[in-house]
Homo-oligomer: A and B are copies of this chain.
Amino acid sequence: MKKAAKTFTLTIKDNDSVLSCSSASTIMRTLLDRGLFIEANCNGRGSCGRCLVQVLEGRVADRDGNAVPPGENNMYLACQIYPQADVTICLPRLEVSQKAQAAQIPVEVTKALLKKIVLAPAYPTLSKHYSFQAMLRQALATAGAAAGGCDNITVLRSLQEAVAAKPELITLTLLQEEVIAVEAGDTSPALFGVAFDIGTTTVVGLLVDLNTYNVVAVCSKNNPQASRGADVITRIQAACESAEGLAGLSKLIRSCMNAIIHELCSQAGIETSHIYAVTIAGNTTMTQLLQGISPSTLVKQPYAALFNHLAPLCPNDIDIGINAWGKVLILPNVASFIGSDTTAAVLAAGQDLDTVPTLLVDLGTNGEMVLHDGQAMYACSTAAGPAFEGAHIRDGMRAAPGAISDVKITKDQVISTVIGEGKPAGICGSGMVKAIAEFIKTGILHTSGRFNQAAIAALHPGLQRRFRQSNNEWEFVLVAGAETMNGKDIAVTQSDIRQIQLVKSSLRTGIEFLLTKLNNKAETEYRIYLAGAFGNYIDIDSALLIGMLPAIKKESILSVGNAAGTGAVMALLSADNLKRCTAIADRIEYVELASQPGFQNRFLQNLAFPKN
């Protein structure tokens, strides 16, 4: 018989929060319902192990009220425990590191997307009688502006407000020569925009002063949708399960964007009303979820997106807290699995302007590749999955403080480099790639990816003792528990290596299929742009060594950083850049990898590591 639910308090230390919670709800559900971020890659099934919380005070139990054995330091999976009394917990501290310095955006602004013009209107009189709308039209004509006027009632309402006290000057905000807002007085110094790169895992916002073309603040946050699944597919399933699921995902990303906007404004000391435009680069699922559009068609054959290009949206339509008369521009996407983040990355890399063959590889939670063969452009997407962000890796985590980001194996020891000041807590994508590259160099991996027992037997004892069997599989300990944050060993398991093999094969196979478009004529005569995680973190030598990238001269590889975010800034600055985005999205031909003959075979072959 079901017991009546009781209500307790849930205190979150270091956060000054006290929530009410029910004995019928998991701690995770209570946290998520109050909008508190907690990782829940498996959507609360208890399998991913990401939602660890430390219980400092109080008593928790399983659904049936039975005691649950705590982990070390009284850690529990928040998705598996129910409060039995007032409880105090400590949340995990895994914040994405924020780039302190403003990004350097290489742009030449040929035609501003947004501008303000200040006018001295001639108010109507009894003898010169006309409407305020006509007054605006005349003032624009007198100023020689390209805009002919405005027949949008929303803007005209702002006109009515602005001229109520007959100010001598009024300021018009124009988006691509269209009047979008009218303000009393000269407000021209306040003209800002935010460029967003909405990743599956991370959301980055860049605040741009549109008068000076400078990025004046940067802020990134974890995508809180991760609480409904680490990867795109899990989130789509959550969105398709119910209208609430879709609405919830939509609300999460909107809140996150608003939180970023607030932080950017606070960094730069401006008001949210000074922001008149937002550009958004993101994969198609992210931009559909943002708008509350069901992504169901994205996971059913033929995986069609609803749209490629959208007219500018009103911020109120998607609850984005900028100037109410501002506009939100979702950049155009190429196809269902090639989103506007790819369009923006191509723009930032200038790949659309190339005259020689180039290949762009953008590695985020998924991997997208674009080939420019000198004339046509092709793109494909691989379900890289979030392995590089720590998902499906036993001791995996994001590139955040505590993550092992680099590994060096000498004759007798392992040197791990950790992000930040503290002890290691796990291993991130760049650390995994580096570790595997080192394993290959050391000879302890077969090309198949299996540990080479014979080679291990010949290792120096200092390395050999790191090698052991646990949970029926072999693993290699990078850092012993005595040296780690939670007291547990950090190791690379055979399964972890398999995960990386899957990802690197899908990337490599995608690249190879695109390269066939070059008809062998220039298969080694091309340049590579590396963007996303590749551009930022992963060691290129190691990536070449484990075969993620084709064998190519290192000099032909150019890192273009967080190209999607840079592209979103560029589109925010210039109407010409925005136009280029549309041309890029129209021009790129989508290649569906799964339907390519021979894909499966090639994929299986590419699982292997290259011979060293």
Contacts and interface: CB of A to CB of B under 8 A. Distances in A.
B131 A592 contact: no
A570 to B, nearest CB: 21
Contacts of A335: 129-131
A160 interface: yes
A117 interface: no
Interface in A122-146: 123-127, 129-135
A473 to B, nearest CB: 37
A302 B152 contact: no
B307 A151 contact: yes
A131 to B, nearest CB: 4
A309 B137 CA distance: 12
Contacts of A132: 297, 304-307
Given A160-B293, A291-B153, A595-B127, A133 B308 contact: yes
Interface string A475-493: 0000000000000000000
Number of copies of this chain in the oligomer?
2
A21 to B, nearest CB: 37
A124 B306 contact: no
A391 to B, nearest CB: 27
Q: Which of A153, A309, A311 has most chain B Cβ within 10 Å? A: A153
Given A307-B156, A308-B133, A124 B293 contact: no
Contact of A313 (B124, B127, B153, B303): B153
Interface string A176-207: 00000000000000000000000000000000
Interface string A260-275: 0000000000000000
A30 to B, nearest CB: 33
A294 B159 CA distance: 12
B159 A306 contact: yes
A308 B131 contact: yes
A157 interface: yes
Contact of A160 (B126, B297, B301): B297
A86 to B, nearest CB: 45
Contacts of A302: 123-126, 129
Interface in A288-347: 291, 293-294, 297, 301-311, 313, 317, 335-336
Contacts of A603: none
A590 B306 contact: no
Given A151-B309, A153-B311, A310-B151, A304 B159 contact: no
A127 to B, nearest CB: 6
A151 B305 contact: no
Nearest to A594: B126
A224 to B, nearest CB: 23
Nearest to A292: B157
Nearest to A307: B133
Nearest to A330: B153
Given A123-B304, A126-B595, A151-B310, 16 more contacts: A123-B302, A124-B304, A126-B594, A127-B592, A127-B595, A129-B303, A129-B592, A131-B305, A131-B306, A132-B305, A133-B309, A151-B311, A152-B311, A153-B317, A156-B310, A160-B297
11 contacts: A125-B302, A126-B301, A126-B595, A127-B595, A129-B590, A131-B335, A131-B336, A132-B304, A152-B311, A153-B293, A160-B294
Q: A-B pairs with the 8 shortest C-beta distances?
A: A133-B307, A131-B305, A124-B304, A151-B311, A126-B302, A124-B302, A151-B309, A125-B302
